[in-house]
Amino acid sequence: MATVFSFYASTDPKFTDNGAIETVTFGAPFVGGYKFADAVRYQEDTGKLRIAKFHCVSDGVTSLPPTIFRMSKRGAKYFHSGMDITLPSKRMGIFKICGQPKPRVSYNGPTKGFLREWMRQATEFYFWNIPLRFWLAPKFHALVEHKLRMALISKDYEESLHPLIKYTLEELYEMRDELK
């Protein structure tokens, strides 16, 4: 709902006269198809809209609706829009040896062809993104989990100045070609 409302608000000058509409979502599912994604991208290119979508690793809700074989003319049936910020889980026990994973910041740009978009949709398929211990799935979607992971990021990566900590949403949008 936040993504849809922010898009419509960005089309009205009375909302964008003071600057771009900035929206932050946590664990949002797919919102629309490629036509909606193109319209959002147009609003982003004109400087009227900025969207940041935070989600936890193993959060299946961000892959809803679960369609893998339903394709459109341009590939995947559903798309995410804006900046995509994936929050990793903290490694525990013996796995700490490998180091802690860093959050991934990327931009959901235009489609790159039918086959590539089908592969993206297949990797983002709902059943691949739920944890093996499926009863923990609601935990990964909870806002409390997002808050805990954000606190870990700010504590663990303060010295390295990870892009998520160093830059504002406006600055991330200026670098979006590098984040694709």
Looking at residue 165, its pLDDT comes to: 64
Looking at residue 131, its pLDDT comes to: 58
Residue with tokens 């590539």: 116
Residue with tokens 């799935």: 137
Residue 92: partners with Cβ closer than 8 Å, 6 or more residues away: none
Condensed to tens digits (0 to 9), the pLDDT of residues 107-155 reads 877 767 777 777 766 666 655 566 556 666 677 777 778 777 777 766 6
Low-confidence stretches of the chain (pLDDT beneath 50) = none
**CA-CA-CA-CA torsion sign (31, 36, 42, 43):** negative
**CA-CA-CA-CA torsion sign (64, 141, 180, 23):** positive
Residue with tokens 């608000």: 9
- Name the nearest CA neighbour of 73 among 107, 36, 117, 106: 117
Residue with tokens 């809803």: 64
Q: pTM here?
A: 0.76
Residue pair 85/146 in contact by the 8 Å Cβ criterion: no
- Name the nearest CA neighbour of 44 among 179, 180, 176, 178: 176
DSSP H helices in the chain: 2-10, 13-16, 34-45, 114-123, 126-129, 137-141, 143-156, 163-166, 169-174
Looking at residue 104, its pLDDT comes to: 80
